[in-house]
């Protein structure tokens, strides 16, 4: 097996692990945030617009972590810098 094949295999496996692990924490965080927001709305219905606005900003911040993991996985699959290094003879 040549170096390009090994780098390809490792890159695909690493990209999969990155997406798997990188999406667990944001999913748990979003569930917890939504749960707390619904509890707050149930306790203070008059503050619904403020709570909802803050919730959406928080969810966007939480989701950015999963998006960063997705970008890293795409880089590993499609624009892997290690392939150029091996092809050039390192």
In a domain, 87, yes or no: no
How do residues 14-34 score in pLDDT, each as one tens digit? Answer: 999 999 999 999 999 999 999
Whether 1 and 77 have beta carbons less than 8 Å apart is answered as no
- Full domain range(s) for residue 69: 3-78
Asked if residues 59 and 30 have their Cβ atoms less than 8 Å apart, the reply is: yes
* Domain membership flag for residue 90: no
In a domain, 38, yes or no: yes
Find out whether 80 and 18 touch, Cβ atoms under 8 Å. Answer: no
As given in the structure block, the two tokens for residue 33 are 């945030």
How many domains does the chain contain in total? 1
- The lowest-confidence range among 25-29, 53-57, 77-81 is 77-81
At 79 the pLDDT is 87
Q: How far apart are CA 77 and CA 75, in angstroms?
A: 5
- The answer to whether position 61 is within a domain reads yes
Per-residue confidence (pLDDT) for residue 90, from 0 to 100:
63
CATH of the domain at 35: 1.20.20.10
Tokens of 45: 């219905």
């Amino acid at each position: 097996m040549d170096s390009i094949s090994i780098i390809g295999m490792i890159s695909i496996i690493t990209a999969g692990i990155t997406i798997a692990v990188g999406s667990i924490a944001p999913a748990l965080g979003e569930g917890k945030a939504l749960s707390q927001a619904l509890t707050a709305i149930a306790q203070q219905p008059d503050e619904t617009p403020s709570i909802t606005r803050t919730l959406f900003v928080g969810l966007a911040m939480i989701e950015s972590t999963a998006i960063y993991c997705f970008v890293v996985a795409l880089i590993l699959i499609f624009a892997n810098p290690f392939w150029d290094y091996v092809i050039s003879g390192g």
